[in-house]
Chain A
């Protein structure tokens, strides 16, 4: 009996595993079968559809619904002499009810037909325009409100989401920005701008993997997009950094990152606003504070400090936004410096200031700081990069060195057709003052400038004093650079001198 039992048991164990094997095999066949069936269903058009009874009639429902909520009619008029009732009457509530009633009426009557959708869309586009105007004025809150309104009216347009995402980015609201970008992408899978913004947001959120994926997607969509390379480098660097210990980050690395970061953001700005290039430092500010903190950390003690020993370094505290203290920023009264007293105390105050003020103002001391460090940014590859640096550093010395590193013949490539009069004259003055002072060649620059698009337009608006300068420069070319008369007269013709 015992033997029998054990044999039976063995058999059952074997059967069970066989069953399971069969089941798996069956599953595989079934998967294929299902795929075929699905294809059939998809290809099959609705022939011979069932006759479906009509929608439950409204009247019937009204008559019989068991526990249907009968809204008590508020239509009982309150007589004008019935003061006690009027006292109890809540006007606000009544107004709200009225509004709610209207709204629900609207929504229930709305058949959401195509025409309605189109109507909504055009309305939404108006809101979008309004939002764009706010963006130009840098009123992010109002812009977000406008875009939200547009989305509420017509939630199926990717542009609304992408624009709102930009505003969130500006406000450093990275989670919302990312979510909006995702919505935009869901609506339009080929929307490069949305991917771009999501990359920026994800970088901010330190989601490097996801950011990398997005960059890949961008390269897929736009293989010749130059910015993707910058982004990719940026991600790789950051990604690497997150593995490296903080000590290993060399100063140049950090500052490089920072520059790229700025470029990225500003190029986007540029995309958004096309030709209206008002790029100034403010556009950079929202994202820069963290970077600044980093660079300060690396430099530790700036060279201009007279005393490098007894300086207390205050480390920045990096906290995610939700952990930030809710208390208002501490005000630090700035005292008039007494020059008779030792210098040290004053510096301490400055240091404190820098740490305490996490607002945009931190940028200002920082700028000087960078100027002092005299780091020349790399050779620009497009007009935006050039403009950022040009506007940022106004000293002639810097501009001279910045121009100096640009190889001849590349100016037209950098600018293409986005040169502006003030930049043009700025370059000319730099050439005249700095280059000539240092006896550097300027002819190649003048030639390059003449090859820029819309050059003739700039020449038309040139002032008399600048014409004088130009004449001076040409004679300088002739004398010190030994350029042949022919070439100079050729160029002079172009400059209409």
Chain B
């Protein structure tokens, strides 16, 4: 009974391709999306597809010399819609998809593969300067401004001599005015670090015991509210960022899901309390966070402390036999998403009844 009143996750279109898919992103303000990946012989590929009446139409095929790991549109304006990509050789490129032969911006960002990229303040998501953040296997997290050639505007990396951990995930948040901005980064040893870019300081750090595969703020353009971090061994953590206790840090809850690695988390652009997590078994889970009655209490010493609400699983659906490498909700249509998995398939999925939450 209850089952039937829940949202349904339906695979609308499935398409298999002849290369490995690593990332997919909707092109803002269009029914098109890009997928990025690597050819078997070790070159990179970007393809643009258009959803048109239940089918996928290949719009463009862009071959690159380096395998492409990740990409984002978040740091470019709606008019330009430039795609920023990170590749296996550590290069950061920004492409104009209308004329992709020459990148409009290119920098040797890292010495090794760029695992994750995120952007802010492009298409009015967040305020301030348009910036990109990249996290790499070389252990550094770098912030880039497309207006400054070749040099990052900020570098966060271990001091010389300290061990360099593989950075697996990065994300922007707290960008509610033109100064405030934080970057969160997750590492393979389970470290999560939050850097304050205004003060240029480490705001908070924690260790989640298992490698942090994905993390995301529920919104980039508001005073930071929630952060979800997914880890190996089927756990994800949800932090309430409203109140930071000087000793205990942020309040959080842990949830078990997927029975395997939780690869990534994506919040619904239309509703920040809803988010999807994708697992190693090719499953997608849809979650809803329910706030507690009061979000903070004052303890005996007069210091404020956050209180967690609870989390409910709305739907669980198996899409593929292989891990899902990426998922992206359409910013323009509620419930529409594109996901790629390691079975070399890309899928357009529809989720119904999201408007009821």
User: Using a CB–CB distance below 8 Å, which chain A residues touch chain B?
Assistant: 5, 8-9, 12-13, 16, 19-20, 23-24, 27-28, 30-31, 34-35, 37-38, 41-42, 44, 46, 50, 52-56, 60-61, 63-72, 107-108, 110-112, 155-156, 175, 179, 182-183, 186-187
Contact = CB atoms under 8 A, between A and B. Distances in A.
A462 to B, nearest CB: 54
Nearest to B5: A12
Given A34-B31, A41-B79, A65-B200, A187 B101 contact: yes
Contact of A53 (B10, B51, B178): B178
B241 interface: no
Contacts of A13: 4
A56 B202 contact: no
Nearest to B179: A53
A60 to B, nearest CB: 7
Contact of B352 (A12, A19, A63): A19
Interface in B53-111: 53-54, 62-63, 65, 78-79, 101-102, 108
Interface stretch (B148-156, B244-252, B321-329): B148-156
Nearest to A5: B1
A186 B101 contact: yes
Contacts of B51: 27, 31
B154 A55 contact: no
Given A55-B147, A65-B155, A183-B65, A38 B352 contact: no
Contacts of A186: 62-63, 101
Given A5-B1, A9-B4, A61-B200, 8 more contacts: A27-B12, A34-B31, A52-B128, A52-B129, A61-B154, A65-B154, A66-B201, A66-B202
Nearest to A183: B63
Interface stretch (B232-240, B268-276, B304-312, B331-339): B331-339
B199 interface: yes
Contact of B332 (A34, A42, A54, A70): A34
Contacts of A68: 155-157
B299 interface: no
10 contacts: A12-B4, A20-B8, A27-B51, A35-B31, A42-B79, A108-B149, A110-B149, A155-B102, A179-B43, A186-B101
A354 B75 CA distance: 63
B336 A27 contact: yes
Contacts of B153: 55-56, 61
B159 A16 contact: no
Contacts of B151: 108
A111 B333 contact: no
B350 interface: yes
Contact of B129 (A30, A56, A61): A56
A340 B158 CA distance: 83
Contacts of B124: 50
Interface in B34-66: 41, 43, 51-54, 62-63, 65
B130 to A, nearest CB: 7
Interface in B179-203: 179, 195, 197, 199-202
A27 B41 contact: no
B29 interface: yes
Contacts, number: 133
B31 A31 contact: yes
Interface residues of B, number: 59
Contact of B102 (A35, A44, A55, A156): A156
A290 B95 CA distance: 42
B81 to A, nearest CB: 8
Nearest to A19: B352
B15 interface: no
A189 B130 CA distance: 33
Contact of B30 (A28, A34, A46, A155): A34
Contacts of A156: 101-102
Given A30-B31, A34-B31, A41-B29, A12 B1 contact: yes
A67 B158 CA distance: 6
Given A54-B129, A66-B202, A67-B157, A46 B79 contact: yes
B160 interface: yes
Contact of B333 (A30, A44, A155, A183): A30
Contacts of B30: 34-35, 37-38
B232 to A, nearest CB: 25
A183 B100 CA distance: 12
B295 interface: no
A394 to B, nearest CB: 43
A107 B145 contact: no
Contacts of A65: 154-156, 200
B353 interface: yes
A8 B65 contact: no
B29 A23 contact: no
Nearest to A185: B63
A367 to B, nearest CB: 36
Contact of B156 (A37, A38, A50, A67): A67
A35 B342 CA distance: 31
B160 A66 contact: no
Contacts of B200: 60-61, 63-66
A107 B1 contact: no
Interface in B190-225: 195, 197, 199-202
Nearest to B352: A19
B293 to A, nearest CB: 31
Contacts of A69: 140, 155, 157, 159-160
B195 A66 contact: yes
B148 to A, nearest CB: 5
